[in-house]
Amino acid sequence: MRKTYINGTGCLSAQKTFDTVFLEDAEWNKNDNVLFLKKPVYKDFISPIASRRMANGIKNGIVASAYAMKEANVTNVDAIITGTGMGCIEDTEKFLKAIIDNNEEFLTPTAFIQSTHNTVGAQIALTMQCKGYNFTYVNGAISFESGLLDAKMQIEENEANSILVGGVDENGDHILSLFKLAGYIKEDRKEPYQLLNETTKGYIHGEGACFFVLENEKKESTYAQLVDLEIKNVLQEDEIETEIIDFLKLNNLEISDIDAIILGFNGDVEFDSYYKNLAENAFANTPQIYYKHLCGEYNTASAFGLWTGSKIIKTQTIPELIKSNSIERPAYNTILLYNQLNGKDHSFTLISK
């Protein structure tokens, strides 16, 4: 069975994660409960005429994928796989508002056409004239992992040599107001938001676009090997440790073999206990990393987590800003990522040098 390598990454987030080495320009915003993406210069990647008609999520996906492909030194791929939780929510809101405001008459179709979840993957394909397999997964908080698993299986089974896979989600005004109403997002005026050791419900919301070029061969640009991936819809808190031990055993590993664990803490006191139990027990002697204080929580935030893990393996450094304990290792060769959202959609991702 062929191995899967991460040969290029492109990440747009609430931090300046493009045109930098690894979080050297990152700033922790403790005062806002919604984090917005730091925009690149779109005209460097997309013509201003085309860009004018595109929603932010589409533009972010095109730019992130361009960065990933440039790093991997490829001009085209065999397949494009996208994961998204909410799709192009800005255009969805725009179209629904137009329906109401215009009394269901005289509607322009642009916003509707561009509101579908698969628009990002389609626009990336049009940009590079890729006529291969193009698929979009909309699976809540495992949307990105579903795409990652699909890509890994295709490379292992020799169906593709080079695949672009990513996760994209954008903020929308109306959906944010609904999330706040539902209590998903932390209450306004409750800052500073510390993320770790929070005592209130809700999380800091964010948006982002992260893409990866997965290939069947190791190159100079290689970040890491994508070793294995597992998805579970529902798990109880007391089942997580056993699940991880079994997952590692499948790959001939034990907890002591893990050089660092990346946990998806998001500040929600109700569900962060899933991570806290692991941090205080099974992985008490392992370097621990968290990242959602920098990018916020959204359905495909775990893509930012994979970008973080890939950077750690390649640079062999962990920036102080993402350390949640002070334990260090002489080398970071094997990293485990664990993510869940609201107690559901659990994913375990294993990468190695």
pLDDT > 90? residue 287: yes
The pLDDT value recorded for residue 123 is 92
- 240-250 helix and 273-280 helix, angle to the nearest 10 degrees: 60
72/75 Cα distance (integer angstroms) = 9
**Domains of the chain, earliest start first:** 5-215 (3.40.47.10), 227-352 (3.40.47.10)
Does this model's pTM top 0.85? My answer is yes
Helix then strand then coil, % of the chain, to nearest 5: 35, 20, 45
- What is the reported pLDDT for 145? 97
Structure confidence by residue, pLDDT tens digits, 17-43: 988 889 999 999 999 999 999 999 999
Mean residue pLDDT of the chain comes to 93
pLDDT > 90? residue 108: no
What confidence score (pLDDT) does residue 302 get? 97
124, pLDDT greater than 90: yes
Find all residues with CB under 8 Å of 279, minimum gap 6, and list them.
261, 263, 288, 324, 325
Helices (H) and strands (E) in the chain, counts: 11, 10
